[in-house]
Amino acid sequence: MSTTLASSSNSTGATQPQANYRRHVLDLDDFSRDEIGEILETTASMKEVLNRPIKQVPALRGKTVVNMFFEDSTRTRISFELAARALSANVVTMSARGSSVEKGESLLDTMRTLQALGADIIVMRHRESGAPYLVAQHFLGSVLNAGDGRHAHPTQALLDLFTIQERLGRIEGLKVVIVGDIVHSRVARSNLWGLTTMGAHVTLCAPTTLLGPAAFWTATWPKVTITTDLDECVRDADVIMTLRLQKERQESGLLPSLREYSRFFGVNAARVACAAPHCLVMHPGPMNEGVEITPDVATSAQSVIETQVTNGVAVRMALLYRLAEH
């Protein structure tokens, strides 16, 4: 359920447009084009804050943000910590290791403990798909999904959208190729929601063992293109987004070898040369360099991988700010 907040001057010094504010951010499947646009506008304001000599505003002063990570993370966890601190929130980060979860405490009991300790917003990453949805049904504050199983990663999709718009000036009408371990990727699913909502033309490319039935994708996203031919689909692409091989979620026997995978589905300089001259190369990280992407492409002028990481802080600031206003 969302409530309406009228246009006003916020704590960053920027004037925010009238917007629909929601209580939770679990995926992008229920986000409208206007709402995504508003988030991208707010992200631009937050990025301006991060470019100031003093990278902090009092927007979340007095609020407590708990980062609850049940899976290992570097970029997302640190990004959320920096985002909350830049908004002057009280920040607590916990992981399953060293917590009462190792003693058998349930997820809901952990949530109730955090609620009793005064948490206003829970940022949650969990290995099981749907876990943030369960917590959101019981938590009195707001829940922000930082990645659940193979299901969703909304903040990664939003930072990808912001990076594309910032660099290319638009999202609508662009040809975006997502290549790699599609079937295990929460990044691919959330990006499909965000990119198609904003009017991009999306192609999914992977070996059949890492793609799954085409009907699964086209039933939800009927305009998406499905292919196993990377050389063909990268022609004139505006964006090539390569995904990590998620060995921790894979069963054995899905690939003959990493060398063969890299030969047919690795993003290299020759393939990027077939794309549009302005083509962006993206990767959510962490990378298996030499497998899904070659080192020279990862550090090339067309690569925006480090920019994605930078923009992640601003996107997460924007979302935390909006949730705190609900």
Question: Tens digits of per-residue pLDDT, 257-296?
Answer: 889 999 999 999 999 999 999 999 999 999 999 999 999 9
Tokens read off for 109: 């009991």
Q: Which candidate in 153, 189, 271, 322 is catalytic? A: 153
Helices (H), 118-240: 131-138, 154-168, 186-197, 214-220, 230-233
Residue whose C-alpha is closest to residue 266's, from 187, 181, 186, 209: 181
pLDDT number for residue 101: 75
Query: Is-catalytic flag, 228?
Result: no
Q: Which residue has the tokens 């292919």?
A: 227
**Per-residue pLDDT tens for 131-188?**
999 999 999 999 999 999 999 999 999 999 999 999 999 999 999 999 999 999 999 9
Task: Say if residues 314 and 47 touch (Cβ distance below 8 Å).
Answer: yes
User: Which listed residue (23, 75, 201, 326) is catalytic?
Assistant: 75
The single residue of 125, 126, 271, 283 carrying the catalytic annotation is: 125
Residue 1's pLDDT band (cuts 50, 70, 90): very low
Q: Is 76 among the residues known to form the active site?
A: yes
Find all residues with CB under 8 Å of 264, minimum gap 6, and list them.
207, 230
Determine whether 186 is an active site residue.
Answer: no
Q: Which amino acid is at 67?
A: N
Rounded Cα distance, 205 and 231, in Å: 10
C-beta atoms surrounding 266 within 10 Å:
21
User: How confident is residue 15, by pLDDT bands cut at 50, 70 and 90?
Assistant: very low
CB 49 within 8 A of CB 317: yes
In the chain the domains, ranked by start, together with CATH numbers, are 2-153+311-324 (3.40.50.1370), 154-308 (3.40.50.1370)
- Per annotation, catalytic residue among 42, 43, 76, 197: 76
To the query of whether residue 103 is one of the catalytic residues in this protein, the response is: yes
pLDDT for res 14: 43
125 catalytic, yes or no? Answer: yes
Calpha distance 302→298 (Å, rounded): 8
pTM: 0.91
Distance of CA 265 to the CA centre of its chain: 22
